[in-house]
C-alpha cells in the first residue's frame, strides 16, 4: 500500500463532519478533477504493509477512521486493512469511477461515493452501476461548482438513486453557499447541505488537517 499521510483531525465533511477522525490518505488516483485539493497525493507516498498502517492508526485514541486518497480502491491490500479495522467505524472515500462491489463491507464500514459533476471534468468517468450497490448507510456526495452541476446532479439522482444519504457540497470559493441552499429548498431535495469545515477552520492550503 502506498500511503501519503496518516493524521488525526476532525472530519471536515460528510455526514460525520465535526467528529474526531484518524485519516489515512493513500497515494494514486485515476482521475484528475479540475478542483482537486489533494493533488499532492497523486504520486508522493511511502510503501507500507496493512499491518504497519494499522499500527499507526492505533497510536491515536479514536476508533473512527476515514480512508481516502487519491483513490483508495486502487490499493490492492485495502481489504486486508479493513479486516484489521473490523472494530473501527470506517468511511471509504471513493471517486465514483471504481467498482465498489469489489468486496463486501463490514456493518461498521461504509462508502462515501463522490459522484463527479461536469465542472470536475470527470463526470463521464463515473460508474453509475455503483448506485445499485450502495446501502442505506453509504453516502453519495455531489460537489457542486455551478448551476449546470446542480441540474446534472438532480438528473442523476432521479435516474439512478436507490439507497444512501445524499449530500451536496459547494466547490470551495466557486459558488455562493446561499445559492446552493436556495436551489435545494426550492426543488424540495431531500439532501444534506455541507461545507468543508477544515478549510473554514485552517484555511485552503493547510495539510494534515
CATH code: domain of residue 84: 3.20.20.70
Q: What is the mean pLDDT of residues 122-132?
A: 96
Asked whether residue 209 is assigned to any structural domain, the reply reads no
Q: What is the pTM of this model?
A: 0.92
Q: Is 25 annotated as a binding residue?
A: yes
Helix axes 177-186, 147-160, angle to 10 degrees: 40
Q: What angle do CA 55, 112, 68 make, to 5 degrees?
A: 35
Asked whether residue 6 is assigned to any structural domain, the reply reads yes
Residue 109 reports pLDDT greater than 90:
yes
Q: Is 70 annotated as a binding residue?
A: yes
Q: What is the pLDDT of residue 172?
A: 84
Sheet with 192-193, edge to edge strand ranges: 46-47, 2-10, 20-26, 64-68, 89-94, 109-115, 139-144, 165-170, 192-193
Q: Is 37 annotated as a binding residue?
A: yes
- Structural domain containing residue 36: 2-202
Q: Is 68 annotated as a binding residue?
A: yes
Q: What is the pLDDT of residue 119?
A: 95
Q: Is 162 annotated as a binding residue?
A: no
Asked whether residue 208 is assigned to any structural domain, the reply reads no
Asked whether residue 57 is assigned to any structural domain, the reply reads yes
Instruction: For the chain, give the mean pLDDT.
Output: 93
Q: What is the pLDDT of residue 198?
A: 78
End-to-end CA distance of the chain: 21
Q: What is the pLDDT of residue 144?
A: 96
- Work out how many domains the chain is built from and give that number: 1
Q: Give dist(CA 73, CA 108) in Å, integer.
A: 18
Residue 160 reports pLDDT greater than 90:
yes
Q: Give dist(CA 134, CA 161) in Å, integer.
A: 9
Q: Is 137 annotated as a binding residue?
A: no
Q: What is the pLDDT of residue 103?
A: 79
Helix or strand or coil: residue 97?
coil
Alpha helices of the chain — where are they, by DSSP H?
Answer: 50-58, 78-84, 147-160, 177-186, 197-202
Q: What percent of the chain has pLDDT over 70?
A: 99
Q: Is 38 annotated as a binding residue?
A: yes
Q: Is 10 annotated as a binding residue?
A: yes
Q: Is 11 annotated as a binding residue?
A: yes
Q: Give dist(CA 162, CA 13) in Å, integer.
A: 22
Q: What is the pLDDT of residue 52?
A: 98
Residue 75 reports pLDDT greater than 80:
yes
Asked whether residue 207 is assigned to any structural domain, the reply reads no
Q: Is 29 annotated as a binding residue?
A: yes
CB 173 within 8 A of CB 146: no
Q: Is 167 annotated as a binding residue?
A: no
Q: Is 75 annotated as a binding residue?
A: no
Q: What is the pLDDT of residue 155?
A: 97
**pLDDT (tens digit per residue) in 2-19:** 999 999 999 988 888 999
Q: What is the pLDDT of residue 65?
A: 98
**pLDDT (tens digit per residue) in 24-40:** 999 999 989 998 878 88
Amino acid at each position: 500500500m502506498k500511503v501519503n499521510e496518516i493524521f488525526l483531525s476532525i472530519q471536515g465533511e460528510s455526514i460525520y463532519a465535526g467528529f474526531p477522525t484518524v485519516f489515512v490518505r493513500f497515494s494514486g488516483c485515476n482521475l484528475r478533477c479540475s478542483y482537486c485539493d489533494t493533488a499532492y497525493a497523486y504520486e508522493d507516498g511511502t510503501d507500507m504493509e496493512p499491518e504497519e498502517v494499522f499500527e499507526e492508526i492505533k497510536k491515536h485514541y479514536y476508533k473512527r477512521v476515514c480512508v481516502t486518497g487519491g483513490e483508495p480502491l486502487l490499493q490492492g491490500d485495502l481489504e486486508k486493512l479493513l479486516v484489521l479495522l473490523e472494530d473501527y467505524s470506517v468511511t471509504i472515500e471513493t471517486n465514483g469511477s471504481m467498482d465498489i462491489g469489489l468486496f463486501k463491507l463490514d456493518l461498521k464500514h461504509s462508502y462515501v461515493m463522490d459522484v463527479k459533476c461536469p465542472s470536475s471534468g470527470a463526470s463521464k468517468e463515473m460508474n453509475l452501476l455503483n448506485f445499485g450497490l450502495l446501502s442505506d448507510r453509504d453516502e453519495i456526495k455531489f460537489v457542486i461548482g455551478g448551476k449546470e452541476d446542480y441540474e446534472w446532479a438532480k438528473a442523476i439522482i432521479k435516474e439512478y438513486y436507490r439507497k444512501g444519504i445524499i449530500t451536496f457540497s459547494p466547490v470551495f470559493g466557486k459558488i455562493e453557499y446561499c445559492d446552493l441552499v436556495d436551489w435545494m429548498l426550492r426543488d424540495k431535495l431531500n439532501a444534506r447541505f455541507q461545507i468543508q469545515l477544515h478549510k473554514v477552520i485552517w484555511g485552503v492550503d493547510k495539510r494534515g488537517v
